[in-house]
Amino acid sequence: MNENETITQPEIFPGVVHPTAGGGILISSIDDVVNWARSNSLWPLVFGTSCCAIEMMSTASAKYDWSRFGFEVARATPRQADVIIIAGTIVNKMAPVLKRLYDQMADPKWVIAMGACATSGGPFFYNTYSVVKGADHVIPVDVYIAGCPPRPEALLHALITLQQKIKSGLTREQIRSGI
Amino acid sequence: MSLTNNKIKEKLVEKFGESVFGFEENYELLTFEAPKEINLKVLQFLYDDEELNFQFMTDLCAAHYPDNIGKELAVVYHLHNLKDNIRLRFKVYTSIQKPDVYTATQLFSAANWMERETYDFYGVNFVGHPNLKRILNVDEMDYFPLRKEYPLEDQTRLDKDDEMFGRGGTIV
């Protein structure tokens, strides 16, 4: 099977059922099961630095309800969080704080850059004395979202994309080269 | 009888004479000026006077006028009389070579962070401030970014050229 299909169409549960009398035996690999478990209970860190955080809160609340996908356990401490959503502008003074939060998160950990500011500095790319031009200057980013701010659907799409990335079990380089 | 701009002006002139000047009314907001040496005396008078009662500081900020030689920096106080719901704006000017202005922190606790911000962005040195260090920018910054010697826009940017909007322009 082509790996790209695996990425775009994740299986519900990794493995095949080997039918036996009176039931069946599930055959899978431990890596796949672990990745499945990790991807379906991503706990985000409560972290928002500007207007993207408003959209993030909207995504968390009833209308968009990201708990449908397993993101509802937002933690206020980096030590219990799996994913940090950089929702907003990162200024020079915030950069060391962001790095420290990221360092305090336990492995495995993932990063989503939400919106134009976190991706590239966005509207502050020019004429600024204080804005970091992309959070990836500070910490490595897994998924980028376009938009200023992105709609809640876009954030959900990014979170689902991150789930697929985790489920695929591939490194960034493997995904990029299409192995 | 509630307080009016004219009444405030009369009381100030009666107390300080020609030391308060430059009275203006922009959109009914009374604005005046005083030498920076007496800024605390004026603020204290506005605070203590039984009729004036300007006991709430709405804002404190600065402005840079590079062409105003010897008075390049203005420190602007916005005060509010909550009893009569009337506001005023009070300015003192200082030279940019020696931007020393007395701190208002003894009178208004709110001035603490606002003076730190004003120092951070314009370099006004508030004499007597308990903790005058940068508040919003990084501590390592060695300039005052809102002074006018720094251009508003990067002169090399091309993305705002008319060419980008399909109406001629200078980029070939």
pLDDT tens digit sequence for B5-25: 999 999 999 999 999 999 999
From B12's Cα to the closest Cα of chain A, the distance in A is: 41
Number of structural domains, chain B?
1
- Which residue in chain A has the smallest CA separation from B151? A127
Structural domain includes residue B157: no
Nearest chain A CA: its distance from B159 CA (Å): 10
Residue with the bigger pLDDT between A44 and A18: it is A44
Q: What is the pLDDT of residue B79?
A: 95
Selecting from A92, A93, A127 the residue whose C-beta is nearest the C-beta of B152 gives A127
- Identify the CATH number of the domain in which residue B97 sits: 3.30.460.80
How far is Cα B172 from Cα B168, in angstroms, rounded to an integer? 10
Cα A126 to Cα A129: distance, rounded to the nearest angstrom: 9
What amino acid is encoded at A73 in this protein?
A: V
Q: Per-residue pLDDT for A1 more than 60?
A: no
Residue B102: pLDDT band by 50, 70, 90 thresholds?
A: very high
Residues of B in contact with A129 (CB under 8 A): 137, 141, 145, 150
A6 or B71, higher pLDDT: B71
The reply to whether B162 falls in a domain is: no
Beta-strand ranges (E) seen in chain B are 21-26, 29-34, 56-64, 73-81, 86-94, 100-102, 125-127
A95: nearest CA in chain B? B138
Q: Are the C-beta atoms of residues A155 and A148 closer than 8 Å to each other? A: no
Q: Angle between the A152-168 and A52-60 helix axes, to the nearest 10 degrees?
A: 70
- Residue B97 pLDDT more than 70? yes
A4 has pLDDT over 60: no
Chain A residue with Cα closest to B143: A129
Mean pLDDT on A18-37 = 87
Distance from CA of A136 to the nearest CA of B (A): 19
Residue A175, pLDDT score: 74
DSSP 3-state of B24: strand
Check pLDDT > 50 for residue A42. yes
Position B167 scores a pLDDT of 83
Question: What is the reported pLDDT for B1?
Answer: 55
Domain assignment of residue B71, yes or no: yes
Q: How many CB pairs under 8 A join A and B?
A: 20
Range in A26-30, A74-78, A84-88 the model is least confident about: A26-30
Chain centre distance of CA B2: 27
Q: Phi/psi zone of residue B110: left (φ > 0), alpha (ψ -120 to 50 degrees), beta?
A: alpha
SS3 B58: strand
Q: Give A120-131 pLDDT, tens digit per residue.
A: 998 888 888 899
CB-nearest partner of A126 from B137, B141, B157? B157
Distance from CA of B151 to the nearest CA of A (A): 9
Torsion of CA A46, A51, A55, A61, to 10 degrees: 50
- What pLDDT shows up at residue B172? 59
Instruction: List pLDDT tens digits, range B34-57.
Output: 999 999 999 999 999 988 999 999
Are the C-beta atoms of residues A56 and A87 closer than 8 Å to each other? yes
Max intra-chain CA distance, chain A: 71
Name residues 119-178 of chain A within 8 A of B (Cβ): 126-127, 129-130
In a domain, B47, yes or no: yes
CA gap A101, A109 in Å, rounded? 11
What mean pLDDT is predicted for residues A26-46? Answer: 89
Confidence category of residue A171, pLDDT binned at 50, 70, 90: confident
Residue in chain A lying closest to B160 (CA): A126
Chain B positions in Cβ-Cβ contact with residue A130 (cut-off 8 Å): 137-138, 145
Answer yes or no: do A92 and B152 touch at CB < 8 A: no
Average pLDDT across chain B, whole number: 90
Looking at the predicted structure, is the pLDDT value of residue B163 above 70?
A: yes
Element (H, E) at A165: helix A152-168
Give the pLDDT confidence score for residue A6 in this predicted structure.
Answer: 42
pTM attached to this predicted model:
0.80
Q: Measured between alpha carbons, how far is residue B15 from residues A31, A91, B20, B44, B90 in Å? A: 83, 47, 9, 12, 16
Q: Whose CA is closest to A113, among A162, A176, A168, A173?
A: A162
> Which band of pLDDT confidence, cut at 50, 70 and 90, is reported for residue A179?
low
In this prediction, residues A5-22 reach a mean pLDDT of 68
* CA distances for A30 relative to A2, A33, A169, B124, angstroms: 21, 5, 11, 63
Tell me what pLDDT residue A155 has: 94
- Domain of B83, in residue numbers: 5-152
- For residue range B132-160, what is the model confidence (pLDDT) as tens digits? 999 999 999 999 999 998 887 777 777 77
Q: How many helices (H) and strands (E) does chain A have?
A: 7, 6
Whether residue B154 and residue A92 make contact (CB cut-off 8 A), yes or no, is no
Q: Do A126 and B159 touch (CB under 8 A)?
A: yes
Which of A93, A126, A127 has its CB closest to that of B138?
A93
Q: What one-letter code names the amino acid at A124?
A: F
Is B152 in contact with A130 (Cβ distance < 8 A)? no
Please name the member of A126, A127, A130 whose beta carbon is closest to the beta carbon of B137.
Answer: A130
For residue A81, what are the CA distances in angstroms to A28, A78, A101, B148?
Answer: 27, 5, 10, 44
Percent of chain A's residues with pLDDT above 70: 92
CA angle (B88 as vertex; B84, B93 as ends), nearest 5: 155
Q: Give the per-residue pLDDT at B38.
A: 93
Taking contacts as CB-CB distances below 8 angstroms, the residues of chain B near A93 are 136-138
In a domain, B129, yes or no: yes
Q: Does the residue B160 lie in any domain? A: no
- Domain membership of residue B172 (yes or no) is no
What is the pLDDT averaged over residues B164-170? 78
**Distance of alpha carbon A159 from alpha carbon A80, whole angstroms:** 18
Residue B80: inside a domain = yes
Average pLDDT over residues A121-144: 90
pLDDT at residue A2 greater than cutoff 50: no
Query: Per the CB < 8 Å rule, is A129 touching B150?
Result: yes
